[in-house]
Amino acid sequence: MISKEEVKRIAALARLELSEKEIEKMQKDLSSILDYFDLLKKAPKETAEISAKDMSSLRKDEAVNGEIDKTGKLAKAFPDEKDGYIKVKAIL
């Protein structure tokens, strides 16, 4: 069983505010799910070695130019904006 403190630590990393009740339920659910993952320890190892290349066999980074009119539409979805810019609370 993972501890309540552990659940709170993960929630903080995940930027989730959880109620006391949610923390208790999460403790129970996460414990049984993580226990289930132990199954993977039995999976054969030697043939399973994968290279870093396999794990990121993706594309090269490239810029794809978007359509100009899309920008305005995206800006409309900002919860808080000023002059077409996203407004964010001061961080410092």
Partner 1 sequence: MAELTELTIRQAHEGLKKKEFSSADLAKAHLEKIKKEDKKINSYLSLTEKLAMFQAELADKKIASGNCGELTGIPCSIKDAIMVEGEKCTAGSKILESYIAPYDATAVKKLKENGSVILGKNNTDEFTMGSSTENSAFGVTKNPSDLDRVAGGSSGGSAASVASGMAMYSLGSDTGGSIRQPASFCGVVGLCPTYGAVSRYGLIAHASSLDQIGPFARNVDDIEIVFKAIAGKDRLDATSADYSYKKSDENLNGLKIGLPKEYFAKGLEKEVENIVRNAIEKAREAGAEIVEISLPSFKYALACYYIIDPSEISANLARFDGIKYGLSEDGDKLLDVYLKTRGRGFGAEVKRRIMIGTHCLSSGYYDAYYKKAQEVRQLIKKDFEKAFEKADLIFCPVSPFPAFKIGEKTEDPLSMYLADIYTIPAKLAGLPGLSLPAGKIGKLPVGLQIIGNHFQENKIISAASQIEKLLS
Residue 86 three-state SS: strand
Q: Is residue 11 a contact partner of residue 23, using CB atoms and an 8 Å limit?
A: yes
Distance of alpha carbon 62 from alpha carbon 58, whole angstroms: 12
Helical H runs in the chain?
Answer: 4-13, 20-37, 52-55, 68-76
Q: Least distance in Å: CB of 83 to partner 1?
A: 16
Show the binding pattern over residues 62-81: x = contacts partner 1 (CB under 8 A), - = does not: x-x-----x--xx-xxxxx-
Q: Which of residues 20-49 bind partner 1 (CB under 8 A)?
A: 22, 25-26, 29-30, 32-34, 36-37, 39-45, 47-49
Footprint of partner 1 on this chain (CB under 8 A)? 7, 10-11, 13-18, 22, 25-26, 29-30, 32-34, 36-37, 39-45, 47-50, 54-55, 58-59, 62, 64, 70, 73-74, 76-80, 86, 88-91
